[in-house]
């Protein structure tokens, strides 16, 4: 019993710390799909992030209950704690599964979505809404085109009447005098946006996935510890727990 109390107290403090990590991962997912919403049309792709944020908020009172139960057991508190753990397990596992599935799904969508904005817009010198969105992305990620800057040349070849030019957003930050001229290729970002976006999506989703897996294991340990304490102080009116 004393070991279960010590473990539960320790897990209570861990829950407080991991709540911040869980919330951070959820916010990253939400912001990523918000910043690149023109590439990801489905609004539900940010669902793993919202589930992670909800789980992080529930982790705070769960940690408080874990510390309280470890010092002074109460039947109602033990029952409430077990219900919160079950809710957290459902949220964590749902978020982990969705993060894994969506990471695979979004990776397959990125190439076609980026290709549309590069090849199907009015050209590399266009200033329509789609082009402005691509400019923001290229400046933020320091990339150019889908695979490299030559993708903009292919877009120009499809519209022969357009002036051959690469968007200024392809320029490296350190080259303030860059205007996207192909005579100074060394001033342009050489890496394409597809790989950088795929790496970003994979990192964020993998972060959320492993946070959920680790927290689920800790929650199971907390449930076992609470179960040991409940065995020494059995419920009379709530045996279904």
Tell me what pLDDT residue 192 has: 85
Higher-confidence residue of 21 and 37: namely 21
pLDDT score for 153: 75
Short-list 186, 178, 177, 189, CA closest to 152: 189
Position 124 scores a pLDDT of 47
pTM of this structure: 0.79
pLDDT at position 44: 80
Question: Which whole number is the average pLDDT over 24-29?
Answer: 94
Assign 166 to helix, strand or coil: coil
Between 236 and 140, name the one with better pLDDT: 140
- Inter-CA distances, 140 with 18, 69, 137, 197, 221, Å: 29, 48, 5, 11, 42
Higher per-residue confidence, 75 vs 9: 9
- Residue 193's pLDDT is what? 87
63-75 per-position pLDDT tens digit: 999 888 878 767 7
Question: Is the pLDDT score of 217 beyond 50?
Answer: yes
Whether the predicted pLDDT of 175 surpasses 70: no
pLDDT tens-digit series, residues 83-106: 999 999 999 999 999 999 888 888
Q: What percent of the chain has pLDDT over 90?
A: 30
pLDDT higher at 154 or 46: 46
pLDDT per residue as tens digits for the range 115-127: 777 766 545 454 4
| pLDDT bucket at 238, cuts 50 / 70 / 90 | very low
């Amino acid at each position: 019993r004393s070991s279960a109390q010590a473990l539960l107290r320790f897990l209570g403090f861990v829950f407080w710390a991991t709540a911040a990590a869980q919330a951070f991962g959820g916010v990253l997912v939400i912001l990523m799909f918000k910043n690149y919403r023109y590439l990801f049309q489905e609004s539900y792709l940010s669902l793993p992030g919202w589930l992670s944020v909800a789980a992080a908020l529930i982790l705070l009172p769960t940690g408080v209950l874990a510390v309280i139960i470890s010092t002074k057991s109460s039947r109602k508190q033990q029952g409430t704690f077990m219900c919160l753990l079950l809710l957290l397990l459902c949220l964590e596992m749902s978020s982990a599964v969705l993060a894994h599935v969506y990471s695979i799904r979004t990776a397959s969508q990125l190439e076609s979505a980026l290709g549309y904005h590069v090849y199907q817009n009015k050209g590399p010198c266009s200033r329509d809404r789609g082009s402005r969105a691509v400019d923001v992305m290229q400046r933020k990620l320091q990339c150019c085109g889908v695979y490299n800057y030559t993708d903009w040349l292919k877009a120009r070849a499809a519209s022969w009447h357009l002036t051959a030019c690469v968007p200024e957003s392809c320029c490296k930050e350190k080259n303030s005098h860059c205007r996207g001229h192909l005579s100074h290729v060394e001033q342009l970002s050489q890496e394409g946006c597809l790989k950088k976006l795929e790496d970003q999506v994979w990192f964020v989703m993998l972060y959320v996935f492993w946070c959920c897996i680790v927290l689920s294991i800790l929650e199971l340990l907390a449930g076992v510890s609470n179960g040991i304490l409940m065995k020494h102080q059995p419920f009379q009116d709530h045996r279904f727990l």
